[in-house]
Amino acid sequence: MLPLDPQADIGRRAWVACPNCDDRRTCTTCQEGRTCHGHWRYLLSHTGSLLHLQCPSCTHVWTHETHFGATRSDPPA
């Protein structure tokens, strides 16, 4: 299990399913699409529409594409 990232701050959170442990799958609040007090992720950083997250339950680190707001553009060919 990885340690928490030094950038992990409880004040910067996101509510996205963890692709590693999916700890929110049995949570009624999460299944209803509401903000749950127990199944949030650390928002380590972001680049445009990419979120860099860490799960506090299993410490998995991953990148999530939101497709919202400022999207990244591919470099010109």
Residue-level pLDDT at 1: 64
Residue-level pLDDT at 68: 80
Q: How many domains does the chain have?
A: 1
User: What does the alpha-carbon distance between residue 44 and residue 62 come to, in Å, rounded to a whole number?
Assistant: 10
Q: At 29, which helix (H) or strand (E)?
A: helix 28-31
pTM (two decimals): 0.79
Residue-level pLDDT at 22: 86
What is the DSSP-derived secondary structure letter of residue 26?
A: T
Q: How far is CA 29 from the centre of its chain?
A: 17
Residue 33 pairs in a beta bridge with none
Residue 3: domain span:
1-77
User: What does the alpha-carbon distance between residue 14 and residue 52 come to, in Å, rounded to a whole number?
Assistant: 10
Residues in the chain where the model's pLDDT stays below 70: 1, 70-77
